[in-house]
C-alpha cells in the first residue's frame, strides 16, 4: 500500500446468517433469496472458507471489535436492558485504532456492546452513530402479551456524536413539512395519519403521547403536559437554524451551493 494512502474500510456484520445462505456459498437462489451483489463482491475479492464465531451476537461483536476473546472483555452474552453489559471501558476498539490512524469513523445499525453512557459507540471510537443499542427483536416487545412499559424499557433508535451525549430527539419531516417531533419518551404529532395515506390534514391542536406508558399512541395527553412543548419546539428551532446555516440540497442539484456556483 502506498504510504499516506488510507483506503476506505466498510464492514457489514449480519446476525443469524447461515453459512449456506449466500449465493457465493451455494445458497442464494437455491434458498429463495438471490444475493447477486454480495456474490459479485466475493468474485472480485477474496472468498474465505473458515470463519469461527461465538454462539451469541454479543461475544461475536466483542471479539471482532477488540480482537480478544470475549471472556477477556466482559462481552459474554446478550443481556436484558438496564442490566450490566458491554465490553469493559479499558478495552481498545477497532474504531479507536482507526481514529488513531487518522480515519473518520461511523457506525449504523445494531451495537449491542453496552447501552449506557460511556459504553455507546460514540464513546468507543466512532465519530457518528445511528442505530439501536441492543438487539433488533426488542421491536416486537411492545406488541407482546402482557407488555408493561411501566416496568420494561421501550426500545428506541438512538443517535450520537463523539464528545456529545446521545441525541434526545429529532423532528420528523415529510418533504418540507414538519409532521411530528420525538423527544425522550414523548412524541408530538402535528398531523395524524394512523394508516398510510389516510391523513386528514394538519391538526388544530397537536396530539401528545408518552411512549413509555402508551407505546401504541392511543391517549392524547397534551392538555395536562403542555410543558413538553418547550424543549420540543426549542429543538426544532435549533434544527431550523442549522438548515439556515447549512441549506438542504435541492433535488437534482449538482452539490452544495458553494460547489454548484463553481460548476
Could you give the residue range(s) of every CATH 3.30.1120.10 domain in the chain? 172-245
| Contact (CB, 8 A) for 122 and 93 | no
Question: Tell me, what's the pLDDT at 105?
Answer: 95
Question: Mean pLDDT in the chain?
Answer: 83
In this structure, which CATH number among 1.10.3720.10, 3.40.190.10, 3.30.1120.10, 3.90.1310.10 belongs to the domain 172-245? Answer: 3.30.1120.10
Name the range with the highest mean pLDDT among 1-10, 20-29, 67-76, 159-168.
20-29
Which among 170, 156, 168 is positioned nearest to 111, based on CA atoms? Answer: 156
Of the pLDDT bands very low, low, confident and very high (cuts 50, 70, 90), residue 97 is very high
112 noted as active-site residue: yes
6 noted as active-site residue: no
* Intra-chain end-to-end CA distance of the chain, in Å: 34
Q: Is residue 194 pLDDT above 80, yes or no?
A: no
Q: Percentages helix, strand, coil for the chain, rounded to the nearest 5?
A: 30, 15, 55
Summarize the confidence of residues 104-131 as an average pLDDT: 89
Summarize the confidence of residues 151-179 as an average pLDDT: 79
Whole-number Å distance between alpha carbons of 156 and 75: 22
Q: Is residue 85 pLDDT above 80, yes or no?
A: no
Q: Is residue 155 pLDDT above 80, yes or no?
A: no
Backbone angles phi, psi at 62, to 5 degrees: -65, -45
Question: Tell me, what's the pLDDT at 4?
Answer: 64
Q: What pairs with residue 209 in β-bridges?
A: 187
Question: Tell me, what's the pLDDT at 185?
Answer: 84
Compute CA distances 107 → 36, 85, 110, whole Å: 25, 19, 9
Q: What is the pLDDT of residues 203-240, one digit of tens each?
A: 888 999 998 888 888 899 988 888 888 888 888 888 88
Catalytic residue (one of 24, 57, 69, 219): 57
Q: What residue has cell string 480478544?
A: 68
Sheet of strand 202-210: strand arrangement: 169-174, 177-183, 186-191, 202-210
Q: Is residue 60 pLDDT above 50, yes or no?
A: yes
Summarize the confidence of residues 119-133 as an average pLDDT: 89
Catalytic residue (one of 112, 122, 200, 237): 112
Q: What residue has cell string 483506503?
A: 7
Amino acid at each position: 500500500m502506498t504510504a499516506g494512502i488510507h483506503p476506505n474500510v466498510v464492514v457489514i456484520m449480519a446476525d443469524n446468517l447461515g453459512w449456506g445462505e449466500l449465493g457465493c456459498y451455494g445458497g442464494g437462489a437455491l434458498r429463495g433469496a438471490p444475493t447477486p451483489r454480495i456474490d459479485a463482491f466475493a468474485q472480485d475479492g477474496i472468498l474465505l472458507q473458515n470463519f469461527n464465531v461465538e454462539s451469541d451476537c454479543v461475544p461475536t461483536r466483542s471479539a471482532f471489535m477488540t480482537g480478544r476473546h470475549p471472556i477477556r472483555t466482559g462481552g459474554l452474552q446478550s443481556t436484558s436492558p438496564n442490566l450490566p453489559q458491554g465490553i469493559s471501558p479499558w478495552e481498545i476498539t477497532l474504531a479507536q485504532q482507526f481514529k488513531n490512524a487518522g480515519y473518520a469513523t461511523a457506525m449504523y445499525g445494531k451495537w449491542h456492546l453496552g447501552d449506557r453512557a460511556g459504553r455507546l459507540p460514540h464513546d468507543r471510537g466512532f465519530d457518528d452513530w445511528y442505530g439501536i443499542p441492543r438487539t433488533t427483536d426488542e421491536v416486537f416487545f411492545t406488541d407482546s402479551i402482557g407488555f408493561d412499559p411501566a416496568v420494561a424499557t421501550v426500545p428506541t433508535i438512538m443517535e450520537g456524536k463523539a464528545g456529545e451525549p446521545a441525541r434526545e430527539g429529532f423532528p420528523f419531516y415529510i418533504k418540507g413539512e414538519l409532521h411530528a417531533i420525538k423527544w425522550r419518551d414523548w412524541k408530538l404529532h402535528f398531523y395524524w395519519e394512523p394508516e398510510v395515506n389516510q391523513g386528514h390534514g394538519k391538526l388544530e391542536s397537536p396530539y401528545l403521547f408518552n411512549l413509555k406508558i402508551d407505546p401504541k399512541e392511543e391517549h392524547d395527553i397534551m392538555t395536562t403536559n403542555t410543558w413538553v412543548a418547550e424543549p420540543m419546539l426549542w429543538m426544532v428551532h435549533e434544527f431550523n437554524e442549522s438548515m439556515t446555516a447549512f441549506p438542504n440540497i435541492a433535488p437534482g442539484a449538482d452539490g452544495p451551493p458553494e460547489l454548484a456556483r463553481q460548476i
